[in-house]
Amino acid sequence: MLEVKFKKLVPESKIPAYAKPGDAGLDLTATSKHWSDDFQCWIYGTGLAVEIPEGYVGFIFPRSSIRKYGLALTNCVGVIDSGYRGEVMCTFRPQSKGTTESYKVGDKVCQLIIMPYPQVMPVEVTELSETERGEGGHGSTGA
């Protein structure tokens, strides 16, 4: 089991936890919420900083409860690099004008999944290997 350190930035923050055995994502709870007029989105603070080990990355995903609110995570999936030590935040944009429902402070707003990743060395080439799929994309394999 991977040990990951979390620092409470405010007393009311909650160390993330799995809701059920076998869950992939740790639930993140909102400790603050404010509306950004500049970006037209809700910004939620979790009151937490995290020390993700080198060689790992944190991914922030919306929870399935998002469908109740008509919101979308603004960056689709958040990426937390191992060197980041600031507050973990989640930003949501209403999917349509007039949407007023949103998460409240104290709600579980997102989930954090921490995974290892390979270091990649990009190599420029003039040709790539052939595959059955080739250049087929965007629906090329059927409906």
Task: Go through the domains of the chain in sequence order and give each one's CATH number.
Answer: 5-116 (2.70.40.10)
Token digits of residue 67: 């469908």
Give the C-alpha distances (Å, rounded to integers) separating 114 from 4, 51, 125: 9, 11, 32
The pLDDT of residue 126 is 97
- Average pLDDT rounded to a whole number, residues 85-93: 95
Residues 21-62: tens digit of each pLDDT: 999 999 999 999 999 999 989 999 999 999 999 999 999 999
Residue 8 has φ and ψ, to the nearest 5°, of -75, 125
**Residue 43 region by backbone torsions, left for phi larger than 0, else alpha for psi between -120 and 50, else beta:** beta
Integer Cα distance of 31 and 56 in angstroms: 25
How far is Cα of residue 21 from the mean position of the Cα atoms in its chain? 20
Residues 74-84: tens digit of each pLDDT: 888 999 999 99
Residue 99: band (very low, low, confident or very high) from pLDDT cuts 50, 70, 90: low
